[in-house]
Amino acid sequence: MKIIKLKLKERSYPIYIEEGIIAKSGSLLRRLQLGSDAAIITNQYLEKKIGQRLKGSLKKYNISSKIYTVPDSEKAKSFRHCLNLIDKISKYDNNKSLFLIALGGGVIGDLTGFVASIYKRGIAYIQIPTTLLAQIDSAIGGKTAIDLPIAKNLIGAFHQPKAVIVDPGLLKSLPKRQLKAGLAEIIKYAAIKDKPLFSFLKNNYKKIISLDKKAVELIETKCIAIKTRIVEQDEKEKKGIRTILNFGHTIGHAIESAGGYNKYNHGEAISIGMICAAQISHNLKLLREENLDKIISLVRLYGLPTRIKGIALNKIMSSLAKDKKFIHGRNRFVLPVEIGKVKVISNIPQDAIRKAILKHGSCY
């Protein structure tokens, strides 16, 4: 078993990585002494597939648990479902030593983490991520949130989990499109911080896409370690260090939102976002053409989109203007300067952004 420790003083926690580790959850959690009662938050599909197995493993170690399900979509990240959950777990709680377990993708992780952050001014929770994106990204770092109708993730808190249990074996049932969305984030990690990982992705496509045990454990461990080190240095995204994780996300979020959140999923949108950011960087003479081509080729190799289709340029530009990460209206882009190295640059001219989008899009 690999263990990566995320070090944040009294908020430090272990991230366990091993295929099949879900069966050991009971013994891992007993050792952490979080309490004797767990509320497992998941959806109906995952409840049947994994939830009952998890419950059994907890029972062996005298942790009683109850499963609560939420709808299987981004809609679960709403006030309604948040309050509904709080109502239910408060009845189960009964002043027991209750902790929460998020069993699911990023949606369940974000919602459970947010409930844990506000219930009784904060209780313990565990992340058991079941999508590739959640295993290498959203389950780590303590960002929790629910959505408002006007924008995603507007209500949230930083609340670190007490442990993250990553079982790559759970990815076997993940639909291919979801798997690829996670791979887009892995390409992102390689492009911002890890040139050898970039080469590994290029040379091991078949193994990775067929979920070869060794290859998946290796890339997941590398990405988790990168995210962990970044979060340790800039937990609350105040120092501009955590910002580099947004490579591809500025234009990516705008594409996601302009497409009504159903044309492109998150991973697909950030794939094009990374290419546009690389194009801007190349146009500003910060990135050599051969490196721009390498990024485009890797995105294409993993069957992710490299061009925007059927979205109006104006729609993308106006979504971009609403980016909540911009400071005093000044835009901020993470631009690659080499494979494995990026710079954060503000005030990119609108025209340069438009040009890059048009170069990689059949926008009308």
Catalytic residues: 121, 143, 185, 227, 237, 242, 246, 249, 253, 266
Q: How far is the CB of 262 from ligand NAD (least distance, A)?
A: 13
Where does this chain bind ligand NAD (CB under 6 A)? 43, 45-46, 72, 74, 77, 104-108, 110, 130-131, 133-134, 137-138, 141, 143, 152-153, 170, 173-174, 178, 181
Of residues 85 and 363, the one with the C-beta less far from ligand NAD: 85
- Residue 160: what are its φ and ψ, rounded to 5°? -75, 140
Of residues 130 and 250, the one with the C-beta less far from ligand NAD: 130
The residue type at 329: G
Q: How far is the CB of 38 from ligand NAD (least distance, A)?
A: 19
179/8 Cα distance (integer angstroms): 30
Q: How far is the CB of 175 from ligand NAD (least distance, A)?
A: 6
- Give the residue at shortest CB distance from ligand NAD: 106
The residue type at 306: T
Q: Which two tokens stand for residue 260?
A: 């009504």
Short-list 157, 133, 163, 69, CA closest to 265: 133
- Stated as kind and residue range, the H or E segment containing 8 is none
250/230 Cα distance (integer angstroms): 19
Of residues 130 and 279, the one with the C-beta less far from ligand NAD: 130
* Total residues found in the chain within this entry: 364
Q: How far is the CB of 138 from ligand NAD (least distance, A)?
A: 3
Q: How far is the CB of 149 from ligand NAD (least distance, A)?
A: 15
183/266 Cα distance (integer angstroms): 11
Reduce the secondary structure of 42-69 to three states and give it as a string.
ECHHHHHHHHHHHHHHHHHCCCEEEEEE
The residue type at 80: R
Of residues 261 and 312, the one with the C-beta less far from ligand NAD: 261
Helices 213-233 and 195-203, packing angle to 10 deg:
160
Of residues 144 and 331, the one with the C-beta less far from ligand NAD: 144
